[in-house]
Structure 1
Amino acid sequence: MLAVGLTTTVASLPLLTAPTALAAACTVLRRSIREDRPVGVGEYVAEFRAHGLRRVLLVGVAVFAAVTLVLLDLALAGAGLPVARPMSWALTALAAAGLVVALRAAADPEVARGWVPALNRALTRSVTDPAGCALIATAVGLCVAFLWMLLLLALLLPGPLAFAVTAVEARGERAQGDADTGD
């Protein structure tokens, strides 16, 4: 998991590739869990390449634009507008919900085929599994706390975050499988 974290960090350095790097990490970790074997860097690179350069850049630009928009809105909310405080709280809650849905989309098994369908499925899973959303939000909060405590952990944190999101999604898949079989 830590090797996946380091590899994901390196793959995320151009910033526009961060969503795809996390998606590749979730995919190789899911495969590792199912097949009970370690993950190799070559497997990670192959999964990253499966997304295609065009999709990687489009998703990265969309995420970068969304983050920029949220930061600009928060800056405007702090500029002394009459309803600034409630707007900044609402915007922060909306951004956190969007982050959880985006992380769930990154952990989707079919994300390499397209992000829009993965986002739709992630939104559906988020609505039907609020406990999973709370778990993912907690994982993000812990990563932020660890980063605040020791900045050097930034190199390793994508691995545990990808593992947490993958585990939450695997929990949902297992619960769905049990419901389908009547267990």
Structure 2
Amino acid sequence: MTHAPTPSTASSRDRRDRREPGEVFGPSFTLFADVLLVGLLTTAACLPVVTAPAAFAAASATLRQTADHGLPVRAGTYVRHLRAHLSARVLAVGCVPPLLALVLLIDAALLRSSLPGADVMSPVLALLALGSMVVGLRATALEAPYRLSAREGFLRSVADPRGALLLAGALLLSVVLAWSIPLLTPLLPGPLAFAATVVELRSPAG
């Protein structure tokens, strides 16, 4: 026999699910735990490198589901989203992150060199890499039918410069944290996916 929830149980659930005005996600401590779990799962899914776009898209889809339905993040939910995003095209796009890493290595080499034009090329390459990562993050947060579309990610970044700047700031902060506290590196994909999801949910371009 099932029992109807008592008034005290119902009120407790209401308090737990209550959101402040303008709040996209649930209570802060639950959100903190969800983002940490998503970060660890995304890091594990990124280990083959070419799966990075699918891993971040799965992270964003999982967080979006949490925002829409108030459900806690589960590893099984993340894995289902990851499988849904894996395809030959997405794996081919996964070759882009290593290329961006190569651009950053070249940029670092230019900074240490005395080649003519290094002072100009170094910031240009850094901005190009940062802009590409912003567009990539924005693309992973898109819903169907634009899911993982670099073109749509670029168009929305241009249409929403404030959101693009927020994502750029999140990326730069992640780099600083990874450099200063390397132990935090496995957790950083979670906040990045969270930032991309929130920007997309609140974007006027959406």
Task: Mark yes or no: TM-score above 0.5.
Answer: yes
> Quick one: which of 40, 46, 71 aligns to 2:80?
46
CA distance, structure 1, for counterparts of residue 198 and residue 100 of structure 2: 26
When the two structures are superposed, what TM-score results if normalisation uses the length of structure 1? 0.84
Residue ranges of structure 1 left out of the alignment (5+ in a row): 178-183
In structure 1, the residue matched to 2:12 is none
Asked if residue 155 in structure 1 is aligned to residue 189 in structure 2, the reply is no
Instruction: After TM superposition, list the pairs within 5 Å mapping 1:1-183 onto structure 2.
Output: 1-72=35-106, 75=109, 78-110=112-144, 115=148, 118-172=149-203, 175=204
Relative to structure 2, which stretch is displaced further, 54-63 or 82-91? 54-63
Higher RCO (C-alpha 8 Å, min separation 6): 1
Equivalent-residue separation in structure 2 for 1:50 and 1:43 (angstroms): 11
Deviation at 1:76, TM superposition (A): 5.2
Q: Distance in 2 between matches of 1:81 and 1:126?
A: 33
Cα distance in structure 1, aligned partners of 2:112 and 2:185: 28
Give the C-alpha shift of residue 96 in structure 1: 0.9
Q: Post-superposition, which runs of at least 4 consecutive aligned residues in structure 1 deviate over 6 A?
A: none
Distance 1:120 1:153, change over 3 A: same
Q: Which consecutive residues of structure 2, in runs of 5 or more, have no partner in the other structure?
A: 1-34
CA apart distance, 1:77: 6.8
Letter of the 2:178 counterpart: L
Q: Which amino acid aligns with 1:143?
A: S
Offset of residue 61 of structure 1: 1.5
Report sequence identity in percent: 45
Q: Alignment partner of 2:71: what SS?
A: coil
Q: Is the 8 A contact 1:22 1:158 kept in 2?
A: yes
Amino acid at match of 2:119: R
In our comparison, the structure showing a higher alpha carbon Rg is 2
CA distance in 2, matches of 1:73, 1:143: 19
More helix by proportion, 1 or 2?
1
**2:14 aligns to what?**
none
| Matched residues, number | 172
CA distance in 1, matches of 2:169, 2:86: 31
Q: Superposition RMSD on alpha carbons, in Å? A: 2.1
In structure 2, give the amino acid aligned to 1:41: A
Deviation of 1:60 after TM superposition, in Å, equals: 1.2
CA distance in 1, matches of 2:177, 2:101: 21
Q: What is the one-letter code of the residue matched to 2:129?
A: A
